[in-house]
Structures are given as C-alpha cells and as structure tokens.
Chain A
C-alpha cells in the first residue's frame, strides 16, 4: 500500500479510486466539478505523510469521511467565500497587468484586455470597472465657442517671467489681474473680479 500510494500521482482522487465498492458512490460525488477544490496536490516531498493525514493514522483503514455532497450543502457560505476569493485573485492579477500596461502608456491594449475579461464573463472589481469607464468614453463634440488670440497674454508672461517666477498669475490682455503664491489665492481673486472674458491662469516656473 505505501508503495502504491507513493506512486499514486499525489491526488486524493487517485488514491480513493482503489477503495472498495462502498466508497464508489461517494467518489462519484467527490469528483463532482462543483467541489473540485477538494482535490489538491500533496506536498511532493512527503506524499505518504500527507495521505496519512487524509486517511487516518493507521494509513490503511480510511476514517469516515462525510459525503462531500453534504459538505457542500452545509457549507454554502464556505463555497461562496472560496468563489469570491477566486474572483478576487483573478481581479488582482488583471489589475496588476492593466496597471503595468497603463504605466507604459498602452491604453488601447489595456482597454482590449478589459474587454476580453468582460466577454469571458469575468466579474470586474470596482477599480477595474472604474478603469474600464475611464478608458471607454472617448467622445469628441464640436461647439461654437471661440476665444480671442492670446498674443498679449503670452507677451505679458514672457516680459514678466523673471519678476513673477514661481508665482501663479491670471492674465487678461496685456495685464495680470491677479497673482499669488498659490493657485487657490489667484482663483479666489479672479472669482471676486468677475472679468468679462475668461483669463488665462498660468504658473510661471
């Protein structure tokens, strides 16, 4: 028996196939795809010890194992937890791959990968759904708004570059209507002034 067990392929299923008739019914249930996770490889370095743990200390007479069908029915929450854990792992792996692509600026590839995951029926996690939403909408709409040419504003920035270095400025025409050390400070002044035309806000660096 120990020799047979050592060469058994290290799975509980293969070991159980050698059991006698009373176990055969249990085995058909045990091999059900619903509970495939019950079959897992034994540590290759110590298969005999692993099987002893499974079968009981005597190593020959198997201890009573409850039919896996009952196990599944009584442990729905465990099965759900397992399923969720599996989905979570898939999502983590996909998110890692997508983040790698996005870091390389490969937006189309990242978007394609997300699309393939959706087609395959994968349930996307919130971060992946968020990325899918960001990458999917690429709308472009024309509008009738026009703005004057900002040559004067650019000339002001260049002329005052040294004096205002490090500052935020709001420029309209050939003058600065606000300036300050922070963006918020400048924006607050602009909101107070309510200029007729939108100014250009620029950080001189």
Chain B
C-alpha cells in the first residue's frame, strides 16, 4: 500500500495489462479488471483519463437492465464520431490483487450502438477516476487505488 507521509494514500493494487491485442504494439495502455454491478464475471476496461464517462460494450450494462433510453439521450463526441447513449449510475468494482477492492459509483454512458471501430470498455475520468486516488507504477505494471480521505 502506498503512503503519503504518515497518511495512507492507496489501499489496493492490481496488475494491469498494457496490451490485449494479438498485434505487437508500441502503444501501451492500462487495462484493469473490473466487475460491473453484481455480474458474476469480470471484464477488462481501459483507464482513459481523456474520457469523461465510463463506456462499456452495451451488452454488459444491458444485462443489468441499464438500457439506452431514446427519451434520455446524451451525445458524446469521440474520435470515431458521435455516440448517442443514456447516462446511468452503475457500481464498478475495481478488483484488487492485493489489499482492498473499491466499489465506485460511476457515471456510465450506455450507448445505443458503438461504431464498428470501437474496441473494448473504458473507464473515464470525471465519471469515475476522479472519485478516488490512484497511482500507476509502470515498472511493475501496477495500478494503485484508494478512497479519498
């Protein structure tokens, strides 16, 4: 666990994957393991400090009953073009390999559909990451997290 002076800074850590594609790439990313709501499985989601919301492939939140609602649309501009979805509050559990996991009440955009180029799941900054402390250790591929005091 990390400390900031005498104060505990983070209380859990997980090993992140920096690449999940079959093609060797120099663009390392941060894929961490999360549980969405109370589903009995985990998914990898990319930590994306440039994205405001968490976006999962729609099948995953749909399974929990979080659907796109045409009368509650929010449009988000992405590099793949605009995505129309509905905002929902969903509990995401950041699963720790060591220490404590963290259940974060997050703002997720449940899309109507995703562009064909879209790959994977994303954890956004304003809708999730800024709600807890986190730190990255690239030398060990570890992602540290903990509650704000």
Interface check A103, CB cutoff 8 A? yes
Determine the chain A residues whose CB is within 8 A of the CB of B146 once the complex forms: 142
Determine the chain B residues whose CB is within 8 A of the CB of A162 once the complex forms: 22
Q: CB-CB contacts of A137-153 with B at 8 A, as 1s and 0s? A: 11111111111111100
- Residues of B in contact (CB 8 Å), total 59
* Docked-complex contact A142 and B88, CB < 8 angstroms: no
Q: How far is the CB of B8 from chain A (nearest CB, A)?
A: 11
Q: A142-B11, A157-B20, A205-B119 are in contact. Are A137 and B105 (CB under 8 A)?
A: yes
Q: How far is the CB of B51 from chain A (nearest CB, A)?
A: 8
Determine the chain B residues whose CB is within 8 A of the CB of A190 once the complex forms: 40-41
Determine the chain B residues whose CB is within 8 A of the CB of A55 once the complex forms: none
Contact of A140 among B88, B99, B102, B127 (CB under 8 A): B102
Contact of B148 among A99, A140, A147, A200 (CB under 8 A): A140
- The answer for the CA separation of A182 and B12 in the assembled complex, in Å, is 33
* Docked-complex contact A147 and B44, CB < 8 angstroms: no
Q: A107-B52, A143-B101, A144-B100 are in contact. Are A161 and B21 (CB under 8 A)?
A: yes
Interface check A5, CB cutoff 8 A? no
Q: How far is the CB of B138 from chain A (nearest CB, A)?
A: 16
Q: A127-B71, A134-B89, A148-B97 are in contact. Are A154 and B17 (CB under 8 A)?
A: yes
Interface check B112, CB cutoff 8 A? no
Q: A150-B33, A151-B15 are in contact. Are A138 and B131 (CB under 8 A)?
A: yes
- The answer for the CA separation of A200 and B119 in the assembled complex, in Å, is 16
* Docked-complex contact B87 and A134, CB < 8 angstroms: yes
Determine the chain A residues whose CB is within 8 A of the CB of B120 once the complex forms: 203, 205
Determine the chain A residues whose CB is within 8 A of the CB of B99 once the complex forms: 146
Extra 18 A-B pairs, beta carbons < 8 Å, given A140-B103, A150-B42: A105-B53, A107-B52, A127-B71, A138-B105, A140-B105, A140-B147, A142-B11, A142-B146, A144-B101, A146-B95, A147-B97, A149-B15, A150-B44, A158-B21, A159-B22, A161-B22, A183-B59, A184-B59
- 27 A-B pairs with CB atoms under 8 Å apart are A99-B73, A99-B74, A103-B74, A127-B71, A133-B89, A134-B88, A134-B107, A135-B107, A137-B105, A140-B102, A140-B103, A142-B11, A146-B95, A146-B98, A147-B42, A147-B96, A147-B101, A150-B44, A151-B15, A157-B20, A158-B19, A187-B41, A190-B40, A191-B40, A200-B41, A203-B120, A205-B120
